[in-house]
Structure 1
Amino acid sequence: MGEEGFEGLERSLTEAFCEAQREVTAEALAGLDEDVPCLYIGGQRYRRAVRSKGRYLTAAGAVEVERTLYRSARSARSVAVLDVRAGVVAELWTPLAARQGAALVAHVTPQEAEGLLAELGHMRPSKSSLDRLPKVLGGAWEAEREGLEARLRAQTQVPEQAVSMAVSLDGVMVPMKEDQGAGQSAEGGAHAPGKKSVYREASCATLSFFDAEGKRLSSVRMARMPEAKKATLKAMLAAEVHEALGQRPELTVVKLADGAKDNWTYLDSVLPAGESVLDFYHAAEQLSEAFDAAYGQGSAKAGEYITKYRHILRHEPDGAKRVIRALRYQHQRHPRSERIAQVLQYFRNNRHRMRYHEMKARNLPIGSGVVEAACKTLVTQRLKRSGMRWRIPGGQAILTLRSWAQSGRFENGWEILAEAREQTVELPENVVPLRARRGR
């Protein structure tokens, strides 16, 4: 086997197969080329500009293909017909290579993806190419987002066993570049001297399906970069709910959120009728703070009352009423405690959303843990790495890809985007390819 042992044999075999794959792929790409004086791409007339070699990154590695570049009267940018026909992304990536690269940068930084691909030893894109890839894909998706999302929703089937669905939304702060113009997003490096970052609230939403026993079957996760009043995310979530109810109108809708007024204004006024439930764990946290204020944070007495009334709130039919009574008593004992007064008002304002005993008896969810987890896994784990600062386009491109991956929609999302990028190539009648002329 040689000095490198079996690993060396494996590497040699892999490289041999990849070399053969590159040769076949290069030949197939060349076969998609046209060398004619003029043609039409997407209905627009293009004239032959120059013939030159182009470098393409395939799943088996880089190849060079000689092709003809065309240019329209409306643009100085040259286009290769084989790029259009093959679905090449960013003038570099063949479709499978682009898909693999996009899946990687959805999960790790371009720098980390570059290292992983180098270890795998097939295609070796640069960090800058990996950084640009999601921006190109994200730009294409955002340009037709509403229509493409409608197709994606329609392809997602509500689980057959589902009897209820929980709808939640939340926010998470992300580091943004101070200027919000279009441009590159910074990943995995120290802040540039003189550049400031600010934190703004990105938004997450989830739609989760549950069976008759209260077991979660699946979830759709989505996220948007910061914008006023979470407008786009709210529209997306409403569309997801209506699509699900269009498929299964008998589903029980459960609206879950913390006590933020803006969330409930949207959930109660925009979404279809359903059960409104304040996240139990947020309510329990408020309760803990009130008893800590009454008896001293971390004291045995506070712990005793927290345990007692948390159980009452969760398990008793009149739990919210009894908690309010206990908080009113504590407020009378400590009339100067602003925290106790705030918690008492919090429970009074939300008591109609605290029917936890009833919800659990019906096997309906009472916690918004799914959307809180989405804030962490969709946003924090990828956009809040050391040194990162973002602009809207770059960050949204990553969030879109990650939401597909975490919702089981990557396959469908990729196919829909590929179809949206397709353009027709038409040759004028009676046009003879230049290479054929030269051969006469």
Structure 2
Amino acid sequence: MVSVAESVPGVKGSRLSALQIAVVAVVGDSAAGVIRPLEADLSEILRELLRIVIAFVADTPSPQKMWELERSLDELLRRMGRIAVEFAVNRLEPEQSCQMPARLRRDTQEFSRKGTKTRQRGGIACLFGMVELWRWSYEPLSEEREAGARSIASLVEQLGIVADNATPALAEVIGRLSQEHSESGVRKFLEREHAVNLCSQSICKIRDAVAGGISAHLREQQVRSLLETIRQGRTLGRIILAVGRDGIFVPQRGVKKDRWKEAAVGTVSVYVRPRRGKIRRLCTVYLGQMPQPGQEELSDGLTDLLRQVLADDAARGILLVYITDAGHHPREYFDQVLTAMEDPHHPKQRLQWRWIVDFFHGCGRLGQLADALFHDAATASAWVKRMRHMLKHEPNAIHKILHSAAALRPASLRGKAKETYETAYQYLLNHRHEMDYVTYRRQRLPIGSGVTEAACKTVFTQRFKCSGMIWGRNSDYDHRDPQAQISGARSVLVLRLTVLSQVWPAVFQAYLATKTETAKSLTNPQLRCQPSRKTA
């Protein structure tokens, strides 16, 4: 067998370390001299690592010693990564100004190179800690500078540095942490696990930048996830696409009266109805919006998502159900949008949506009737139990329930009890066509909106309603404007929807691809002037 030393030119017969042999094998003998400083630093850390391991092996094992070993190795490997990253990013641009273009152009703006290479203010946070970055920067021409244009650093954009503070890998960590923890929690985690000390303001800037970047790709990846699930599910049985929406109140800052405003959540789930057995939910994607009159943002987003999914050939012939309570916004959306939605595969025909009122909301109305009709709790509970079984298992159940309630109604019913009775009675009467649960169960359709009800808790309650939390308002935000800046609660919401929809990896990679294309507008040769021959 040929050794590594024999296979590398100029190495045979020489006394080189394993690290030196690896360096020459990877970069070649001519380039090995460039990275000798890095080799020296890493060799020192490697010797320290070996010393720690040997000391552990030679000693009597114990839980304390095992803990010390892992923590020591973690610190050394982090140091090694930090040194390697700092070395690599600072070797990407030449030291001499004559080797850099004198000017750069982006769209209609021109930028002029500054005279010296400067350090990125505050350094760059990466997975291994804080590193220094020296780069060439370009300032806008005088007239553009007066118009408010900012200086740029092409290397910062090429590396994908987020908010001038964090590498893409650490920005991803901050994004995922921010959808679950407050700024203080994120800051403590970064300091403990990554030796990164960022202030809350910097963390918020990075969070908002990540959220703004991935928001442009979230819908596309949600559609792709649903379609892939539909294609895979067709091999198991009939596909059911179930849509739901609901509201939940969150606290708002700067509101003296009625501080709690209604946010909204939407869900789109794929179920499979096998030839035998119960239906099974395969996946769910989540939508949401902060408090807004009319819930237009959620309605527009839900409609756009459904149209993209249903336009694909994979969605031909699937069953469409809409499972909600009978609130104002869910009912309005069904009447104005879903019933009017055209079938993309059959022009001039409308899609056949079936609205199912959530079974447990119907049972809640039975409880209201019982409270109004009976003074004895045991009698009320027994009546509700019988009516609930009837509602789920007997045909024409609503008429039987209403007939029973009317027969039991006392003539002396007055005041609040009468109002409660009439409200519940009218609810069941008005929605009797959407509460035919016997037929739904025979057709093996979902009858509960538990997915959407749970989404209110997982999307909002677990993150937006923690102790002491009050969220600011952004009344100027227009969801129809692709250039609109998202921040604060909207950023957290976008990040949370991405994670809960289980599309984070695809969405973040699409975001990085967009940043790469943006950086190319500065590095593309035809957009750059020729390098200056004059040394700064």
Map residues 51-62 of structure 1 onto 2, 5 A cutoff. Answer: 51-54=117-120, 55-62=123-130
2:456 aligns with one of 364, 368, 375 = 375
Corresponding position: 1:152 with 2:218: no
**Identity rate, percent:** 26
Figure out how many residues of one structure are paired with residues of the other and give that number. Answer: 416
What's 2:466 paired with? 385
Shift of 1:124: 3.7
Matched, 1:18 2:78: yes
Q: Which residue of 2 is the match for residue 269 of structure 1?
A: 336
Maintained 8 Å contact 2:214/2:508: no
Listed as ranges, the gaps of 5+ residues in structure 1 are 180-194
By how many angstroms is 1:134 displaced? 1.8
Gap change, CA 1:295 and 1:251, over 3 Å in 2: same
Superposition map of 1:241-252 within 5 A: 241-245=306-310, 246=312, 247-252=314-319
TM-score, normalising length: structure 2: 0.73
CA distance in 2, matches of 1:279, 1:401: 29
Closer/same/farther in 2, CA of residues 325 and 7 from structure 1, 3 Å limit: same
Shift of 1:350: 0.4
Distance 1:338 1:171, change over 3 A: same
Structure 1 residue 236 and structure 2 residue 290: aligned? Answer: no
- Equivalent residue for 1:291? 370
CA contact (8 A) 2:321 2:356 kept: yes
CA contact (8 A) 1:173 1:202 kept: yes
**1:301-354 superposed Cα distances (whole Å, 9 cap, x missing partner):** 101100000110111121122112223324464553111111111111100100
**Cα deviation, residue 28, structure 1:** 2.9
Map residues 184-203 of structure 1 onto 2, 5 A cutoff.
Answer: 198-203=259-264
CA distance in 2, matches of 1:214, 1:398: 33
Question: 2 CA distance for matches of 1:303 and 1:385?
Answer: 34
Q: Distance in 1 between matches of 2:194 and 2:241?
A: 44
Q: Which amino acid aligns with 2:502?
A: G
- Answering whether residue 73 of structure 2 is matched by residue 45 of structure 1, we say no
Q: CA separation in 1, counterparts of 2:332 and 2:430?
A: 13
Is 1:112 aligned to residue 209 of structure 2? no
- 2:222 and 2:501 in contact (8 A); partners too: no
After TM superposition, the score normalised by the length of structure 1 is 0.88
Q: Give the partner amino acid of 1:400.
A: V
Rounded to whole Å, the distance in 2 between the matches of 1:59 and 1:388 is 29
- Distance of 1:227 and 1:123 partners within structure 2: 37
Tell me how far apart the structure 2 counterparts of residues 361 and 390 of structure 1 sit (CA, whole Å): 45
Equivalent residue, structure 1, for 2:444: 363
CA offsets 1:96-129 (integer angstroms, 9 cap, x no match): 0100111011111121122223332443433332
For the pair 1:165 / 2:233, whether they are aligned, the reply is no
C-alpha deviations, 1:34-81, integer Å up to 9, x for none? 744321245632112353212100111110011122222433522221
2:136 aligned residue: 68
SS in 1 for 2:506: helix
Deviations, residues 345-377 of structure 1 (Å, cap 9, x unaligned)? 111110010011111122211111111111111
2:23 corresponds to = none
Distance 1:150 1:402, change over 3 A: closer
Q: Tell me the residue number matched to 1:398.
A: 492
> What amino acid is aligned across from residue 316 of structure 2 in structure 1?
P
Structure-2 separation of matches of 1:309 and 1:335? 21
Q: Which residue pairs with 1:416 in the alignment?
A: 510
How has the CA–CA distance of structure 1 residues 228 and 197 changed in structure 2, closer, same or farther, with 3 Å as cutoff?
Answer: closer
CA contact (8 A) 2:222 2:285 kept: no
Shift of 1:158: 2.9
Cα displacement (A) at 1:196? 8.5
**1:242, CA displacement in angstroms?**
2.3
**2:403 alignment partner AA:** R
Q: Using a 3 Å threshold, how does the CA distance of structure 1 residues 429 and 130 change in structure 2: closer, same or farther?
A: closer
Alpha-carbon separation, structure 2, partners of 1:138 and 1:166: 27
SS in 1 for 2:502: coil
Which letter does structure 1 place at the counterpart of 2:280? K
Helix, strand or coil: the match of 2:445?
coil
CA contact (8 A) 2:165 2:206 kept: no
**Partner Cα separation in structure 2 for residue 104 and residue 167 of structure 1:** 29
Amino acid at match of 2:251: P
Counterpart code for 2:73: L
1:124 to 1:250, Cα distance in 2 relative to 1, 3 A: farther
> Which blocks of at least 5 consecutive residues in structure 2 are unaligned?
1-54, 95-99, 339-350, 475-486
Taking structure 1 as reference, are residues 87 and 226 closer, same or farther at Cα in structure 2, changes over 3 Å only? Answer: same
CA distance in 2, matches of 1:433, 1:389: 58
Q: Does 1:256 align with 2:356?
A: no
